Chain A
Amino acid sequence: MPQDALFDYVLRMGDNCLVLAQRVSVWCGHAPVLEEDIALANTALDLIGQTRLWLSYAGEIEGKGRSADDLAYLRDARAFRNCLLVEQPNGDFGQTLMRQFLFDAWHHFTLGALKNSADGRIAEIAEKAAKEVAYHLDRSGDLVIRLGDGTAESHNRMQAALDHLWPFAGELTTPDEVDEALTQKGVAADLAQVESQVSAYMEKTLAEATLSAPKDAPVRKGGKTGLHGEELGYILAEMQFLQRAYPGATW
């Protein structure tokens, strides 16, 4: 069980990055301003880089000779361990941005904790990813503030996005057995601590954005244990198309 927990934990980190990168990269060439085309491609690029690090390590932990590409391209939806938040559809640009912001906040504080993980490889990957993610959060946080406190329309769109996505964000900070077992060993990020850091950050940033988080919204979860929404199958069908259509080919 402990080895399995570690495999699961590292898969979660990698799958979050991969599925979000898939979503975000759809905006290439379609964003509201050129600077956003560039920034979103850059975010997706960072996330794919992190995916490769996490999934390579997951393959090593598993010890069955699966590469990062095998894990990305040849698993079905039930074996994916990403949270529900990152698989949510792009919606309008406000929804894409809010999804990014909620994820970045969790990601930032989690990686901050993982830099001190008892697992040396995790600490190493976190160290590298944390620099990129600090920048992602700076950017998404800043845009959420500006649009929340922009026009009435931009405010309404950002508030609607927050109302819609907030219930999914809870999954990230809700610990389960995998988190608990690995937190005890000093390997995983302590989600109680991450949760309080995220809350403090959210409170301050959302106030500045003149947005308010829904109260007592029930948490929507399942992705971390492989119970996804219907959308994930389509994301994978698209992503895995060439590997599935031409089995064994090298590219």
Chain B
Amino acid sequence: MYAQEVKSTGKPVKSLDEMDPEERAFQERIDADIKIEPKDFMPEGYRKTLIRQISQHAHSEIVGQLPEGNWITRAPTLERKAILLAKVQDEAGHGLYLYCAAETLGASRDEMTEQLLAGKAKYSSIFNYPSLTWADIGAIGWLVDGAAIMNQVQLQRCSYGPYSRAMVRICKEESFHQRQGYDIMMKLVKGTDAQQEMAQDALDRWWWPSLMMFGPPDAQSVHSAQSMAWKIKPVSNDELRQRFVDQTVPQAEYLGLQIPDPDLKWNEARGRYDFGKIDWNEFYDVLKGNGPCNKERMAARQKAWDDGAWFRDGLMAHARKKQSRKMAAE
């Protein structure tokens, strides 16, 4: 996903004629769909934008463990508990692939973590909402992973080789995430009145934040033109959002749930759904740190980092001892 509002160069996209020969050769490779690899030449702006996008994506996977992890100990059956554990474990694994991809661009994992904790690097706004009931675990899998897939599928075509390959691996695991979420919702809507209410309430709370996951509208997104020219993000925010709505509305109908948008309706001429206005003030407010759980999410990550310092130092000290014993023995 999970990268919203990635800052790019902030400058207009250059035409081929305006580029120096090296940069021009680079752009021509991208235009010809040849992947860029870590050792290849790349403009500094391309490298920086990618580091921002990939680290934002990685941080989202990591912080994303928290709202779902919140329900592992309370999962209602042993099977649900196992599925949720496997899912959260996958997300941590995605974080790992992505940090590795960013490391190929010269950013270290520790640096990226410090930037997250210092509030300099972002993560997806969606994870600043609380998971209040078991139905939220269903809604997160169905909507949040659904939106993530929509975004990540196009990122498989990203011009940067290691990121594109990480996306291929991740996409293979994501469909299971969405299915388990939808399956939870299915069970709830077929269940008791209280379960049905729980399902509707979760959809009511997660719908709009899920649409915000795709980032601001194209017209306001100063950075997406350059990212699209570089094929860092091949499809625009608005187009991805529309695809998500078109895909999800029939799924909600099948569940018998009401999407909380009175303006939502099928547009025959466009062959797509029209939908209501997104409250972008809420989005920017959450990005600024004022969402319902921003403080708690960062506090949890900060605590894990601080409390873990002795553990990480211990392992490093042991590795050094082992090394010097080995040298002494030689």
Contact = CB atoms under 8 A, between A and B. Distances in A.
B310 A151 contact: yes
Interface stretch (B31-39, B189-197, B218-226): B189-197
Interface string A44-56: 1100110110010
A29 B300 contact: yes
A25 B85 contact: yes
B329 interface: no
B324 to A, nearest CB: 12
B76 A154 contact: no
9 contacts: A21-B81, A30-B303, A34-B92, A41-B86, A45-B82, A48-B82, A68-B78, A93-B308, A147-B318
Contacts of B62: 29, 34
Interface of B: 62, 65-66, 69, 72-82, 85-86, 88-89, 92-93, 95-96, 99, 109, 134, 184, 187-188, 191-192, 194-195, 300, 303-305, 307-319, 321
Contacts of A42: 89
Contact of A48 (B74, B85, B303, B312): B85
Contacts of B194: 246, 249
Contact of B65 (A37, A72, A241, A251): A37
A146 B305 CA distance: 19
A147 B315 contact: yes
B78 A150 contact: no
Nearest to A32: B308
A26 B71 CA distance: 9
A187 to B, nearest CB: 25
Given A29-B300, A45-B89, A246 B66 contact: no
A66 to B, nearest CB: 13
Task: Place the interface of chain A in its size category.
Answer: 35 or more
A33 interface: yes
Contacts of B319: 146
Contacts of B305: 32
Contact of A22 (B73, B304, B309, B312): B73
B181 to A, nearest CB: 13
A28 B73 CA distance: 10
A127 to B, nearest CB: 20
Nearest to A30: B304
B309 to A, nearest CB: 8
Interface string A66-89: 001100110000000000000000
A34 B194 CA distance: 37
Q: Tell me whether chain B's interface is mostly helix, strand or loop, or mixed.
A: helix
Most chain B CB within a 10 A radius of its CB, from A21, A157, A238: A21
A132 interface: no
Contacts of A241: 74
A224 B310 CA distance: 35
Contact of A31 (B75, B76, B79, B304): B304
A237 to B, nearest CB: 10
B312 A250 contact: no
Given A149-B318, A157-B310, 4 more contacts: A32-B311, A34-B92, A93-B311, A151-B313
B80 A154 contact: no
B196 to A, nearest CB: 11
Interface in A201-251: 238-239, 241-243, 246, 249-251
A99 to B, nearest CB: 15
B314 A154 contact: yes
Given A34-B99, A38-B92, A151-B317, A44 B85 contact: yes
B239 to A, nearest CB: 32
B323 to A, nearest CB: 13
B63 to A, nearest CB: 8
Contacts of B65: 28-29, 37
B291 to A, nearest CB: 17
A55 B78 CA distance: 10
Contact of A146 (B74, B76, B314): B314
A73 B188 CA distance: 19
A42 B72 CA distance: 13
Contact of A249 (B81, B191, B304, B313): B191
Contacts of B109: 34
Contact of A32 (B73, B79, B89, B304): B304
A153 interface: yes
Contacts of B300: 29-30
A177 interface: no
A209 to B, nearest CB: 10
B134 A32 contact: no
A240 to B, nearest CB: 9
Q: Which residue among B77, B308, B311 has the maximum number of chain A CB atoms within 10 Å of its CB? A: B311
A140 to B, nearest CB: 13
Nearest to A143: B315
A98 to B, nearest CB: 13
A249 B319 CA distance: 52
A246 B192 contact: yes
Q: Which 7 A-B pairs have the closest CB atoms?
A: A32-B308, A154-B314, A150-B314, A29-B65, A41-B89, A28-B69, A251-B76
A12 B191 CA distance: 33
Contacts of A36: 308, 311
A241 B70 CA distance: 13
